[in-house]
């Protein structure tokens, strides 16, 4: 299993950043490069505790489907989304939001995941998947920051 963290500074309140981070429309826009779209569950707006969404996207030239659930929720400090079904052996993403002391937010993402397929999956994690997932989360966070800062101005 792999684990990585990203930290993003955002000039908007934790409540604003928290709410936008749960918005499936923002997520879809941030993943336009992979053609990600919603095929089930919450189809618009903000998710809440217990909600699920099923995404379909193309990554590494392959079409994937993944259903995730909001399994923990403590507004505006943190929430967790976890894979219910999909391509990973495990996907657990904890989103943390803390005041930065200047009216903004420090958003910290902690991602734990494991590829399927045993040793082959472990080799793919090491060779490319961890870097790819890290870049995907950073791309998403740029969108969260841009939307949050635009809505706060």
Instruction: Express each pLDDT in 59-101 by its tens digit.
Output: 878 898 999 999 999 999 999 999 999 988 999 999 999 999 9
How many whole angstroms separate alpha carbon 93 and alpha carbon 95? Answer: 6
- Count, in order, helices (H) and strands (E) of the chain: 4, 7
Complete domains list, the chain, with CATH: 2-152 (3.30.530.20)
Report residue 80: phi and psi, to 5°.
-125, 135
Instruction: Express each pLDDT in 90-145 by its tens digit.
Output: 999 999 999 999 999 999 999 998 887 666 566 666 667 788 889 999 999 999 99
How many whole angstroms separate alpha carbon 67 and alpha carbon 86? Answer: 6
pTM: 0.93
**Hey, which bits of the chain come out as E strands?**
2-10, 37-41, 52-59, 62-74, 78-85, 90-99, 105-114
């Amino acid at each position: 299993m792999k684990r990585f963290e990203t930290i993003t500074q955002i000039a908007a309140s934790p409540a604003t950043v928290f709410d936008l981070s749960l918005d499936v429309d923002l997520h879809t826009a941030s993943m336009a490069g992979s053609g990600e779209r919603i095929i089930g569950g919450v189809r618009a707006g903000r998710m809440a505790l217990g909600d699920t969404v099923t995404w379909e996207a193309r990554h590494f030239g392959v079409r994937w489907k993944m259903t995730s659930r909001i399994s923990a929720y403590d507004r505006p400090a943190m929430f967790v989304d976890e894979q219910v079904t999909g391509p990973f052996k495990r996907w657990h993403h904890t989103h943390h939001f803390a005041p930065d002391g200047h009216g903004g937010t420090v958003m910290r993402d902690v991602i734990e995941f494991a590829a399927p397929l045993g040793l082959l999956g472990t080799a793919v994690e090491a060779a490319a998947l961890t870097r790819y997932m890290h870049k995907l989360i950073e791309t998403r966070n740029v969108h969260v920051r841009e939307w949050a800062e635009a809505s706060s101005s």
